Amino acid sequence: MDSLGDVTDYANTVLGAYGFGLRQKEEYRYLAGQGVYSLLANASGCSDATLISEMVEEFKKVYEQVQGLAVVYEGIDEMLDMLAAKNIKLAVLSNKPEYLTQRCIQKYFFKHRFEAVYGQQEGKSIKPDPSSALEIAKILKLKPSEIAIVGDTKNDILTAKNGGFYAVGVSWGFRQRAELEENGADIVIDEPLELEKALLS
C-alpha cells in the first residue's frame, strides 16, 4: 500500500505540535522505513530520546484519530488472489508498530488470508535484521530458501539476503530500482502480477 501521504501528514502534524519544521512529502520517501522512532528522530533532527519517545506516542494517537490517505497499489489485490489460487502461503513483515500493521491489514486486506502479520514489536529488532522473518518462516513451516521476501526498499532486500530468503524488489514503491539492485535483489519487478513469473524463475 502507498502510505506516503499518511506518513507525511501524521509526522508533520507531530513535528508542528512540538515546534519542529515540517518536511516535504518526497523527503519522507527516504526518511520512512526504519520505524516511527527513527522517522521522527531523523525528520526533527532531535537527539533527546525522551522527547522523541513522547512524539512517537503522539504519532500513534494521530494515526488512530485521522482518516487515512493510504491507497492500495493497483494490481495488488489481483496479485494476492493469484498467489492464494496457487496455494502460496502469505505473510506480512513491516517496520510499522505491530498494532498499526495489524490495523492496516484489517482495513485494506481483510479479504485475504495471511498466516502471520508482524510489525515492530517492543524489544525486537526491525528490518533489515532477519530475526522476525525467520520466525515467520517457522510459522509457515518453510525454509528461508523456499520463501520470497517482496519489498520496495533496501531494508526488505537486506532482510532477505541476511536471512537466506529470495529477494524480490518492486519498482512501484517508495524507492528507485537502483537502490534495490545495488543491495542485492535477486529480481526486480515492475507490475504486481509479474510476481508469478518471478517466483517461477
| CATH number of the domain residue 120 falls in | 3.40.50.1000
pLDDT at 100: 84
Q: In what order do the strands lie in the sheet with 166-170?
A: 148-151, 166-170, 187-189
| 38 and 100 inside one domain | no
Instruction: Give the whole-angstrom CA distance, residue 157 versus residue 168.
Output: 7
Range of the domain at 124: 76-200
Q: Please, which pLDDT band fits residue 114 given cuts at 50, 70 and 90?
A: very high
User: What are residue 119's phi and psi, to 5 degrees?
Assistant: -120, -165
Counted domains in the chain: 2
44 pLDDT higher than 70: yes
In a domain, 105, yes or no: yes
The amino acid that residue 22 corresponds to is L
Same domain, 95 and 179: yes
CB 71 within 8 Å of CB 1:
yes
Q: Of 65, 97, 118, which marks where a domain is finished?
A: 65
Q: Where are the beta strands (DSSP E) in the chain?
A: 91-97, 116-120, 148-151, 166-170, 187-189
User: Does residue 66 register a pLDDT over 80?
Assistant: no
156: Cα within 13 Å, side-chain hemisphere: 28
Task: Quick: pLDDT tens for 170-179.
Answer: 999 989 999 9
Residues 88 and 177 in one domain: yes
Give residue-wise pLDDT tens across range 125-148: 999 999 999 999 999 999 999 999
Residues 15-29 have a mean pLDDT of: 95
Task: Please report whether residue 70 resides in a domain.
Answer: no
Residue 125 to residue 72: CA distance in whole angstroms = 27
Residues 102, 46 share a domain: no
CA proximity to 155, closest of 113, 201, 120: 120
